[in-house]
């Protein structure tokens, strides 16, 4: 029971941690600075929380489905529209803010742009500061400007540091013949993920490549063991 609470091992090197940390700092700084130049520092600082959370995804786990361009742009736009609509209809209370966050999640799932920081954005826009409230529906402008600035930062920094972003569709992995089992395809993995009825931040194509790579390593290990036993 206690072992389940222990953190899993991280498969990235400290150099990658530093790369992601620098990118997050620069991306957040640029997004907040640009927003402050257009809409004022008070509005920009009000958005710094969701932007910082988005930066973690876009720079540290840029290969995940939650960190792709449509996720941040669609997620921020969905959260912005829902939260402002709820604020107009139900007022700016804690209850309406929580309702807006929940509704934003439903809309993001429907639009296939789930982005966790957008949930925080929905809360913030309902319980906004006076400067943001004064913008009314125009508050969508700083939201989308900040999201676009963060996305541009991720596009530039990740690719300059040799991390491909956005993630390209994975090419079909070569099917390795197996005598005792049939090869697993991306379609099989899609159905398996649907059976689990839970959101997992990985694409079926990535899982397929991981499985085939694991099979290849297992075959190499098996051959090495056979050869070593003969010597």
Q: What's the pLDDT tens digit per position in 7-62? A: 766 667 888 999 999 999 999 999 999 999 999 999 999 999 999 999 999 999 99
Contacts of 51 (CB under 8 A, 6+ apart): 28, 31, 32, 117, 146, 150
- DSSP conformational letter for 231: -
Q: What span, in angstroms and rounded, lies between the C-alpha atoms of 36 and 149?
A: 12
Contacts of 181 (CB under 8 A, 6+ apart): none
**Tally of CA atoms within 13 A in the half-sphere of 24 that contains its CB:** 22
pLDDT for 222: 73
Question: Between vectors from CA 109 to CA 35 and to CA 185, what angle results, nearest 5°?
Answer: 120
pLDDT for 176: 47
Check if the beta carbon of residue 139 is closer than 8 Å to that of residue 84.
yes
pLDDT for 18: 94
pLDDT for 223: 76
Query: Which two structure tokens, joined as six digits, stand for 114?
Result: 């789930």
Kindly tell me the burial class for residue 61, based on how many C-beta atoms sit within 10 Å of its own C-beta (0-12, 13-18, 19 or more).
Answer: middle
pLDDT for 68: 94
Low-confidence ranges of the chain (pLDDT < 70): 1, 3, 8-11, 168-186, 189, 193, 196-210, 212, 225-226, 231
Q: What span, in angstroms and rounded, lies between the C-alpha atoms of 80 and 173?
A: 39
pLDDT for 138: 95
The residue among 215, 218, 189, 212 whose CA lies nearest residue 202 is 189
CA distances from 167 to 63, 64, 222 (A): 6, 8, 33
């Amino acid at each position: 029971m206690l072992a389940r609470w222990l953190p899993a091992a991280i498969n990235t090197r400290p150099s990658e941690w530093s790369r992601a940390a620098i990118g997050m700092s620069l991306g957040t700084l640029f997004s907040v600075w640009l927003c402050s130049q257009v809409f004022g520092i008070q509005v920009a600082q009000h958005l710094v929380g969701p932007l910082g959370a988005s930066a973690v995804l876009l720079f540290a786990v840029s290969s995940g489905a939650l960190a792709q361009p449509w996720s941040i742009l669609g997620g921020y736009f969905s959260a912005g529209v829902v939260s402002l609509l709820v604020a107009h209809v139900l007022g700016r209370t804690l209850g309406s803010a929580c309702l807006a966050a929940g509704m934003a999640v439903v809309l993001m799932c429907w639009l296939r742009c789930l982005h966790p920081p957008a949930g925080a954005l929905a809360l913030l826009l309902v319980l906004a500061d006076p400067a943001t409230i004064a913008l009314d529906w125009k508050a969508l402008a700083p939201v989308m400007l900040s999201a676009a600035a963060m996305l541009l930062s991720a596009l530039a920094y990740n690719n300059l540091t040799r991390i491909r972003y956005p993630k390209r569709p994975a090419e079909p992995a070569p099917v390795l013949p197996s005598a005792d089992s049939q090869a697993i395809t991306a379609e099989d993995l899609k159905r398996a993920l649907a059976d689990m009825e839970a959101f997992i931040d990985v694409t079926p194509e990535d899982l397929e490549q991981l499985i085939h790579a694991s099979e290849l390593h297992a075959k190499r290990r098996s051959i090495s063991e056979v050869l070593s036993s003969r010597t």
